[in-house]
Amino acid sequence: MRKKFVAGNWKMNKTVAGAIALASELARKIGSDAPPCEIAIAPPFIALDSAREVIKKSPIKLAAQNCHYENDGAYTGEISASMLKAVGCDYVIVGHSERRQYFGETDAIVNKKVKKVLSEGMNAIVCVGETLSEREAGVTEKVVETQVRGALNGVLESEMKSVVIAYEPVWAIGTGKNATPEQAEDVHRFIRQLVASLYSSAVAENLTIQYGGSVKGSNAKDLFAMPNVDGALVGGASLKVDEFYQIIQSAHNFFTTI
């Protein structure tokens, strides 16, 4: 049974104090009972240490939003995967479209980061997704295939248990316009088939594929009802505890406890 997974990408939001407050409120709300799915939060780098303290008695896992692909050295302003491992991260988001768009991340860079995250024993959340013009040009599958192949180049079958793919159509991110459940399902099914062809049907069956892009409490249920949608990578709504909690609770009807 593949892992069902809801993660909150806080992006460049919250001071350390604000992150502690948000993580504490979420941990209180979730309590210590087994949740309906895996849960993670990805605060900004400087808040990771404090957030870990706050969530350590809860089932919430810690994620980072990015990393560098080298271990250490003269890379001013960067954070390595080993540093993230040392601070207690279980997951690292890699190849988010905002990194690709604003910071020039190519598939080759994303690939190096994925491998580094895996080599540190953490899980990689690999983001893929097309822009609006790409969707309108009918090349969604081509774009997603190139990104998936690029990100996973050289990743071993045995490492795939530590890979999550997040399908995040760029046109749906922060726009309030989520992909319809059917649009998401079509691409998720395509990704699963692609992974089956790259590895095996067992790897594809066990792969968690999250949807991301304007997920809210009100639309999560319909998305989660799709057979190939295994959870969500949530941006804006993860900054509001009630909204994020509602998304997590939406998993109850569709996902069994892991």
Judged by the rule CB under 6 A, the positions of this chain that interact with ligand 13P are 9, 96, 168, 173-174, 212-215, 233-237
Residue number, 115 or 216, with CB nearest to ligand 13P: 216
The Cα 9–Cα 143 span in angstroms is 23
Least distance from ligand 13P to the Cβ atom of residue 209, Å: 14
HSE at residue 234, side-chain half, CA atoms within 13 A, is 29
Least distance from ligand 13P to the Cβ atom of residue 125, Å: 9
Residue 78 neighbours by CB under 8 Å, 6+ apart: 68, 70
Q: Is 68 in the active site?
A: no
Instruction: Look up residue 208 and give its two tokens.
Output: 């968690």
Least distance from ligand 13P to the Cβ atom of residue 249, Å: 17
Number of H helices, E strands in the chain: 11, 8
Q: Cα–Cα distances in Å, from 114 out to 1, 98, 128, 140, 157?
A: 23, 17, 13, 22, 14
- Name the catalytic one among 168, 185, 188, 243: 168
- Name the catalytic one among 68, 96, 188, 243: 96
Residue number, 140 or 238, with CB nearest to ligand 13P: 238
Residue number, 82 or 219, with CB nearest to ligand 13P: 219
Q: Is 96 in the active site?
A: yes
As annotated, the active-site residues are: 96, 168
